[in-house]
Amino acid sequence: MMYAGIALLVLLIAASILYTARRNRALDRDGIECSAVVSRIKEVEHTDSDGFGTSTDYIYYVTYRTADGREQEAKLGSGKSVDVKIGKNTWDRDLRVGLPVQIKYLPDKPDYVIRIG
Listed in sequence order, the DSSP H helices in 1-117 are 2-30
Residue range 68-76: average pLDDT?
93
Contacts for 60 with CB less than 8 Å, ≥ 6 apart: 38, 41, 42, 75, 76, 86, 87, 92, 95
Whether the per-residue pLDDT at 112 is higher than 70: the answer is yes
Higher pLDDT, 86 or 55: 55
Domain count, the chain: 1
Do 32 and 104 touch, CB atoms closer than 8 A? Answer: yes
Which DSSP state fits 27? H
Whether the per-residue pLDDT at 19 is higher than 50: the answer is yes
What is the span of the domain harbouring residue 78? 2-115
Residue range 32-40: average pLDDT?
94
The pLDDT assigned to 102 comes to 92
The pLDDT assigned to 1 comes to 66
Q: What pTM, to 2 d.p., does this model score?
A: 0.67
The pLDDT assigned to 4 comes to 78
